Each structure stands twice: as C-alpha cells, then as structure tokens.
Structure 1
Amino acid sequence: MAKVAIIYYSATGNVHRLAHAVDEGARTAGAETRLRHVAELAPKEAIAANDAWSSHRDEVRDDPTATLDDLEWADAYIFGTPTRFGNVSSQLKQFMDTTGGLWAQGKLADKVAAGFTSSQNAHGGQESTILALYNTFHHWGALIAAPGYTSERGYPAGGNPYGASSVNGVDEAELDYARYVGERVATLAARLAPVASAV
C-alpha cells in the first residue's frame, strides 16, 4: 500500500475541492493518505475583505496543517495551489521552502509526485503554475508522474497533460480528472515501493 501526502493551499475553496478529489482517487487506488493544507500567510484584513476567502478560512480552520513529517512519511506527494501570476502561491511556496533539511538528507528523493491547480481564466497560467511546482520536485529528485494523455478522463476537463486543473470554479469533469491524478500517483507509488525499500 502506498502512502500519499496531498499538500495544498486554497484561498476560496477551488483547490480545496480538487484536493479532496485527488485524495479520493488515491484512496480508491488503495493508498493511505494524508490530506493537509498549508498555513495561511495573508493579513487578516485582506482575508476579511473577501467573503469567499474569509468563508473558506473558517471552513478549514480545524483541518490538519501540513508538516515536514507528512513529506517524510509519504511514498508520494501531490501538491496543489491556485495560480499566482502563473506561479505557485506564496503560502505553498513558503512551506516548500522549509524542506531544505529533508532535501539535504535525501528524504524527498525517489518519491512519485504530481501537481494540480485552479485559475479564474482558461489561460490564467495553469500549465506554468504546475511546471513551477515541478521545478522544485526536480530539485528534490522526485519521479514526476504527470498524467499526460494516459486517460480519456482528461479531455472533458480541458486536456491538461501536466496535472489536474480547474477554471473559475470546479465542475464534475475537473473533479473526476483530479481523482484520476490521485489514482495514477498512488498506483505508480505502490509499484515502486518494493523497489525503494530494497535500495
């Protein structure tokens, strides 16, 4: 059984919904999962000025927050972030920037990894955001498991070969593709687990 960490940041809830679908897909494939959001960094005044943002912060207030232990524990990790000028949100990036100790010990290497994102517009930087996530995964020595065009389930969701994504809200096709990404990562991690434990 693979152990999969789903680590994400969501401001207004779209990435949160994708994260839950990714988690569902990984569990469907037999994985043990840890679904974790990262800490909020934005000023309270900025959050309070946006009803959707404020409402979502209340919704996840008691949900578990990601720690480095979640990454060390996992055989695979799937990271999610809203697009921020075609890049990773500062909240998720800050968490990723704390992984230097694990990276130096080789504890992030040889793990299956993928990403997901959400944007307001179809050309709002989804692909570059996921690729930006993958830059860090390359430095960690992760084994990128982008979905490519390995399933017909991707086409109704926009056909993003880099990872799961949604546009201006989340529809059922996008949720289904996120489930597929979770299934794919969990399946590949389970196949590689015996090899990794033998090394």
Structure 2
Amino acid sequence: MTGAEGVTRTAVVYYSGTGNVHKLAAAAAEAAEKAGAETRLRRVPEYVNESLAPEFTEWTQAWEENAGAIGQVPAATVEDLGWADAILLGGPGRFGLVAAPLKHFIEQAWPLNARGALAGKVMSSFTSTGAPHGGQESTILSLNNVFYHWGGVIVPPGITDEILTAPSNGNPYGVSSVSGRQAIPGRLAEQVTEDNLAAIAYQARRVVEIATALRLGRSLAPRG
C-alpha cells in the first residue's frame, strides 16, 4: 500500500486478441486517472509469434492489426501488481475460461502471492466474448477465483449504477462486451458500445473510490 500520503495506485492489466478488451482497458485507465489515481495501463503480450488459427483469415488479420495498434502500450510485469493498491484485470473469454496468455501471466505472480504481497489489494475484472452467452460470467468468475487465492478485496460493479442496466451491459460480476462471432479487419472493437465504455469507466471509478477509502481508513457505510 502507498500509505496515508500520496494517491491510490491502480494497475489496469489486460490481454486483448483483436482489440475489444484493449478498448475497455483503455477506458478503465482513463477513468481511473480522472478519479485521481496514479494509473498504469499494461498489456499482457502474446506468448506465440503467429496466430493460433491462421486458417481463420479474418480473425488472424484482425489479430495482427491489433498487435500493431497496441504495441506502444507497455508490457505487463508482476511488479505492476505488487506496485498497485487496486488491480483491474481483463481478458477475452475462451470457451468460458481465461485466455492462455493472461493465464500464463497470472501464473507468474505466484511468488508475490506466496509472500502475501497481493493480499488486501482491491481487485476487479472485465471481459469480452463472441456472443452474449459465450462464457462471460464463467470467465469473470475464473478471474475472481484468482483474486480469492491472492486475498484480494473483490469489487464487482453489481447493479449499483443505471449504466449497468443498459441493453448492452447487465453483467453484475464485471463489465462484459460482446465482440461478435467474426473479427473484421480494419474495424477493430467496433462492437464495444458506448454503454460498455461508460460501464467500465464506472467500474474503474468504483474500484478507485473503494481502494482509496480502504487505504485512508474511511468508513464505507452509507451516511444516514
């Protein structure tokens, strides 16, 4: 923790295949900054040098385009997790599970966890899938299961703001977008709606607010 002085440190760490999760992560980082947090936006890189599905040419072209578009974002390290007071972790769902590059990154954090360096941090997660029922909730819950092991304080968006009930939102576990079943080159992340972006911004602000309250020892109880 940063202590009573200074600002709340927030790390937005994500893996994105074709740009959808990147767009959500960038919006989360921007909102956290505006909420007063010192923020790191960090991408989890691929651990392969070519598309896992080259026969799916449209997806592969979008994957290559996204890799070039986000290349300027610094690569995530486990030190970013240790640095942060609050962590937002995001990645696409793959068959209802965490995408392999993000899982690989998570596994590298076990030394931090072993010495208790992640305990007590505020944590939240987000995702994108190819269909409304493409495993959004199971992916989010898989990420939250990691947070349980780390001893994090999990902060879901819930239905705590009207933006969460917009037609393209609605997942109380973590903001989720529907990327569509087919990636389209030259049109990265166009299925991420303005309501999705507003929802992830709200989720980031909520994370920063609660992390700051915990860091400064403020009461979270409603006034009355």
TM-score scaled to structure 1, two decimals? 0.94
Q: Deviations over 1:123-179 (max 9, x none)?
A: 001011000000010000000000111111111142110011101220100010010
> Structure 2, unaligned stretches of length 5 or more?
1-6, 180-190, 218-224
Contact 1:37-1:63 at 8 Å conserved across structures: yes
How far apart in 1 are the matches of 2:163 and 2:36?
Answer: 20
Partner residue, 1:173: 195
How far apart in 2 are the matches of 1:39 and 1:27?
Answer: 23
**C-alpha distance 3-45 of structure 1, shift in aligned 2 (>3 A):** closer
Identity of aligned residues (%): 46
Q: Is the helix fraction higher in 1 or 2?
A: 1
Q: Deviations over 1:40-92 (max 9, x none)?
A: 02341547641100000111223200011101110010000001001110000
Query: RMSD of the TM alignment (CA)?
Result: 1.5
Partner residue, 1:158: 169
Partner residue, 1:14: 20
Residue 105 of structure 1 deviates from its aligned partner by 1.1
1:59-74 matches, cutoff 5 A: 59-74=69-84
Task: Provide runs of 4+ in structure 1 moved above 6 Å.
Answer: none
- Are residue 33 (structure 1) and residue 51 (structure 2) matched? no
Contact 1:108-1:142 at 8 Å conserved across structures: yes
How far apart in 1 are the matches of 2:91 and 2:97?
Answer: 9
- Are residue 108 (structure 1) and residue 157 (structure 2) matched? no
How far apart in 2 are the matches of 1:71 and 1:15?
Answer: 19
Partner residue, 1:191: 213
Q: SS at 2:145's partner residue? A: helix
1:22-171 matches, cutoff 5 A: 22-46=28-52, 49=57, 50-156=60-166, 157-168=168-179, 169-171=191-193
Q: SS at 2:94's partner residue? A: coil
Question: How many residues are treated as equivalent by the alignment?
Answer: 196
How far apart in 2 are the matches of 1:45 and 1:65?
Answer: 19
TM-score scaled to structure 2, two decimals? 0.84
Higher Rg: 2
> Structure 1, unaligned stretches of length 5 or more?
none
How far apart in 1 are the matches of 2:216 and 2:195?
Answer: 33
